[in-house]
Chains A and B, each alone.
Chain A
Amino acid sequence: MSKVSIRDLTYSYAGAPSPSLSGVSLDLPVNAITVLFGPAGGGKSTLLRLINRLNDLVEGTSRRGQVLLDGEDLYAPGVDVTALRRRVGMVFALPLPLPGTIRDNVVYGPRLAGVRDRGRLAEIAERSLRQAALWEEVKDRLDASAFSLSGGQQQRLCIARSLALEPEVLLLDEPTSGLDPISTAKVEGSLFALKESYTIVMVPHSVQQAARIADRAAFFLGGELIEFGEGQQVFTAPREKRTEDYITGRFG
């Protein structure tokens, strides 16, 4: 069974002329990196936010279809949204540290969930920072302000922050768009390591990045899912003409 299943999902924002997502059906496999790529406005970020129900905060939207996690409908009545968001973590396009120290940032989620024991929090902090490949750089200054880190470090801090809750799925929305190539490489490297234990769904910021890391790839255009398949296959021998046009740069 796939980890996350999207079934015939159609979604519109209030007052928009056309839906952001139309009839999308997709199975996201566990312990793999699935990449959602395509030109801007294709609905990729919207889809991510529907998986952790972050779009609940937006008013006036309409939704048809299902989003399933381990076979359970996420939008069924009575679903505990905050518990869901601990199982499905998200990293945003811009590094967004919360005001406070590095340590505060990393343990923010567990603290909200009720973990009080200092020792336990320290373990969580170290584990998460290692997984995000940031531990060595910050282990001596956990009490420094999170804003004293560089952009790339801040983004890895945000990854660590999400990992601290030990989610099952990690959603990343163009996580390296503001970063230099070295930081990008470090982030991509940690994602490779992380996919052993997590299901990763990512919107890349370039086709090249998608090709580098994707186990599975989904091409979105204008809210529709055009093609979905094995990473290697989609980028070297796409089935659809539109996919090929986009990858080769004929539009985009």
Chain B
Amino acid sequence: MTARLVVQRLGFLLLGLAALIVIAPILVVVAGIVVRGIGAISWEFLAGMPRSGMKEGGILPAIVGTLLLTLGTAVVAVPVGVGGAVYLSEYARDTAFTRAIRLAIVNLAGIPSIVYGLFGLGMFVLFLRFGTSILAGSLTLAIMTLPVVISTSEEALRAVPTEFRTVAASLGGTRWQGIRTVVLPQALPGIITGVLLGLLRAAGETAPILFTVAAFYLPQLPHSPLDQTMALPYHLYVISTQVPGMPPGVQNGTAFVLLALVLLLNFAAAWIRRHFRRRRPW
């Protein structure tokens, strides 16, 4: 009898060990970047323009560029993604075509980010002649973010109890009226969580913006969507691999800022999800 319990103890210990091996490095990475990067953070670093080939000054254009790209991504990915989710959740029947849509979403989710970069180059930069621009970069990132937004939004919509739709219909509401007045508002926290998760991934991506928007040393802020811009992920990549003699403080500081931005969105998403789950009446 006790032999089995000993086996169980060992087994659980092994599993716990595996979990530890998985979890511990996460903390190490975050802590490492925070500890090594926080020293470089100053008002000048965050709000100043770069100087002397990036070795001095601040990274404001990169921060602004990332924020603009994220905003641009949201502007396209949210309507298209939520709309697609509403279709799948509320209108689509189980036909071959619906399954094709779901297959397409799974595939979009699996396409390597560098391939998105190639696509963005081919379609937006060259074919549509947007050039390397915030426009091209945002559109590329938006398509890449679509699967996440659609999946999480659809889940949020499906979680709303069917009874609400039935009640709305019984009170003389069309399907869209029911969705607009009851289902969507109730699904909104879940949708917002999904959007934030998608956006934080878009903010951190480098490969899709390599050929579509990113510039390295652009000591000015972008004026129009057709401008190139610096961006944090690309910036970190270049200053850590391409530029000899870059002070490590700048590298760590940039890594810190990018990580902080991503973690902020992450916490916001988690907070929204928890807060509204408690408050919902169903």
Q: Which residues of A contact B (CB under 8 A)?
A: 52, 54, 57, 59, 82-83, 85-86, 89-90, 92, 94, 96, 98-99, 108-109, 112-113, 145, 147, 161-162, 165
Contacts and interface: CB of A to CB of B under 8 A. Distances in A.
A96 B163 contact: yes
B182 A165 contact: no
Contact of A92 (B167, B181, B282): B167
Interface in B105-136: none
A165 B166 contact: no
A112 B170 contact: no
A220 B56 CA distance: 86
B174 A98 contact: no
Given A96-B163, A98-B167, A99-B281, A112 B172 contact: yes
Interface in B131-186: 163-174, 177, 181-182, 185-186
B9 interface: no
A106 to B, nearest CB: 11
Considering residues A52, A83, A85, which has the most beta carbons from chain B within 10 angstroms of its beta carbon?
A: A85
B171 A85 contact: yes
A10 to B, nearest CB: 24
Interface residues of B, number: 21
B172 A83 contact: yes
A98 B169 contact: no
B271 to A, nearest CB: 21
Given A98-B182, A99-B186, A99-B281, A108 B169 contact: no
B51 interface: no
14 contacts: A54-B169, A57-B169, A82-B172, A83-B172, A85-B170, A99-B164, A99-B185, A99-B280, A108-B168, A108-B171, A109-B172, A112-B171, A112-B177, A161-B171
A108 B280 CA distance: 19
Contacts of B169: 54, 57, 85
Nearest to A109: B171
A137 B110 CA distance: 57
Contacts of B274: none
Contacts of B165: 57
Contacts of B93: 59
A112 B181 contact: yes
Contact of A85 (B172, B280, B282): B172
**Best-buried of A57, A99, A145, A165 by chain B (most CB within 10 Å):** A99
B122 to A, nearest CB: 42
Given A54-B169, A57-B165, A99-B186, 10 more contacts: A85-B169, A86-B171, A92-B163, A98-B167, A99-B164, A99-B182, A99-B280, A108-B168, A147-B281, A165-B171
Interface centre among A98, A113, A161, A165 (most CB of B within 10 A): A98
B277 to A, nearest CB: 14
Contacts of B163: 92, 94, 96
B281 A145 contact: yes
Nearest to B182: A98
A56 B12 CA distance: 52
Contacts of B170: 52, 54, 85, 89-90, 92, 162
